[in-house]
Amino acid sequence: MAARRGICSLLSRSLLSSSCSCSSSCSSGYGFGSFLQSRGRVSRLHGIGRRFSSSALAEEELVTPPVQISYTQNLINGQFVDAASGKTFPTYDPRTGEVIAHVAEGEAEDINRAVSAARKAFDEGKWPKMTAYERSRILLRFADLVEKHSAELAALETWNNGKPYEQSARTEIPIFVRLFHYYAGWADKIHGLTVPADGKYHVQVLHEPIGVAGQIIPWNFPLLMFAWKVGPALACGNTIVLKTAEQTPLTALYVAKLFHEAGLPPGVLNVVSGYGPTAGAALASHMDVDKLAFTGSTNTGKVVLELASKSNLKPVTLELGGKSPFIVCEDADVDKAVELAHFALFFNQGQCCCAGSRTFVHERIYDEFVEKSRARAQRRVVGDPFKKGVEQGPQIDSEQFAKVLRYIKSGIESDATLECGGDRLGSKGYFVQPTVFSNVKDDMLIAKDEIFGPVQSILKFKDIDEVIQRANATRYGLAAGVFTTNLDTANTITRGLRTGTVWVNCFDVFDAAIPFGGYKMSGMGREKGIYSLQNYLQVKAVVTPLKNPAWL
């Protein structure tokens, strides 16, 4: 589950206030929260796209993406090369299920070549030996190139992933650039300590790059997950082998090429596309990879961790699944709470690891909330993500599409009340109706499992102690949302929740400096902020005797 120019522009607008104190940045749409506000206005003003009309969607003429596919080979040691086997695999347009391009299918031999290049670049190359300031300048040049090519990148991201173009262009690309500005700023500020010891010794604590970092990124936010992984690793002086998700390989290859245009030495960043059981497993188990970072499902995270432990015990950071509670207290402004809860769940087609997928609503306002949530979902604009005003595009692929529909069926069969939606939209592509269930119980699959789709489950609660206990009764602990006007209530709930992030009267605020990660089976380690640097550094103590020191 994930995205992030100044701090103000990246903060989501508090829905407790009727106006935004940073209106210039919010109108530019640079944060997920401000994106929520602008999208709500766009959908009502323009009405472009389709609202719950399968026949209309089927008749819709799709926009031809304004971008060419330029890079489909693996990038190893600064060169685009075919897979060692010569094999390719198709990558698809989720609007239609049709093939966009055929991409080099990396396997174990390709991973070996990429790791060898990264190893040589770290052990013998100039990247870790560069001054930190020089590394910083390359990261900044890269960010400038991304801005220059932002229109092509946004189109490519939407074409390969299915997310609304407005989201890609106005929110995710600016946040991507901001993340690299942030890590460029860190590059020359990473330093160790001098430690006083008992006795006549000079003690230095050095922070050194860890070496070759293996990174595996998911398909729901291909560009942003690239930034979350690559930014801190390069700032610390490491080299990288990155495996893309097989569903969305195109933008990572494009931006990796831009990195080399910015002056990144060959072998420092290598990108291999391929499948998890082949390329992913080879990277996770490789004996010459010094550190592994993975974002994806909890089940796959277990496999990655096992492979790492059975090989060379490389340290692993995991950002995994979630089933985040969104708690609406009895003092809530229902209209504002409905809009924020809608965004928390349906954003990015519901394909967010931190989506507010368990909507807990106090019993006193429950019926009103359900009625207004149903009406909001029915107004949601679904259609070609390249068209202005569209809020929701297709799910990523046929597998995820079928999974979402299975969970909807499960909700119906378990006697949850289907308020709206519940089926596909159109006859081609992977569009799902925005779906709302009420009268959901904690033991239903739709309340327990990570659906990763546009399915809102609304549960009723009576008091704060009860909702904290129920919110925590899950194997996940990634994020949560709390909607209340009472400061004491907010403090009580936020301290009680066992999650890595709690948003109060906002949701999906992903500033570059805010750490993100989970408790329990939602992962280990943190992305973004100062904490992400720790993932890519070794700590070395150097102790030297002192003779006749003037002081200790």
Measured CA to CA, the distance from residue 398 to residue 496 in angstroms comes to 39
SS (H, E, C) 46-71: HCCCECCCHHHHHHCCCCCCCCCCCC
Sheet holding 291-295, edge to edge: 79-81, 74-76, 269-272, 239-243, 212-216, 291-295, 316-319, 523-524
Tally the C-alpha atoms within 13 A of residue 438's C-alpha that lie toward its C-beta: 15
Q: Is the dihedral of CA 224, 379, 385, 53 positive or negative?
A: positive
First-to-final CA distance of the chain = 49
Which stretches within 380-453 are classed as H helix? 398-413, 445-448
Strands of the sheet containing 358-362, edge to edge, are 417-420, 435-438, 455-461, 358-362, 325-328, 479-483, 501-504
Q: Of 113, 552, 97, 158, give the one whose Cα is nearest residue 393.
A: 158
Spatial CB neighbours of 70, under 8 Å, sequence gap ≥ 6: 254, 257
Angle at 404 between CA 421 and CA 29, to 5 degrees: 75
506: number of Cβ within 10 Å? 22
For 157, which DSSP code? H
Catalytic residue among 107, 157, 172, 319: 319
Cβ count near 543 (within 10 Å): 11
> Cα separation of 33 and 510, whole Å?
9
Q: How far apart are CA 196 and CA 215, in angstroms?
A: 37
CA gap 127, 113 in Å, rounded: 19
Using an 8 Å Cβ cutoff, are 171 and 398 in contact?
A: no
Q: How would you classify residue 429: left for phi > 0, otherwise alpha for psi between -120 and 50, otherwise beta?
A: left
Three-state SS letters, 440-509? CCCCCHHHHCCCCCCEEEEEEECCHHHHHHHHHCCCCCCEEEEECCCHHHHHHHHHHCCCCEEEECCCCC
| Residue type (1 letter), 14 | S
Task: Respond yes or no: is residue 208 known to be catalytic.
Answer: no
Q: Which amino acid appears at position 265 of this protein?
A: P
> Which residues are identified as catalytic?
319
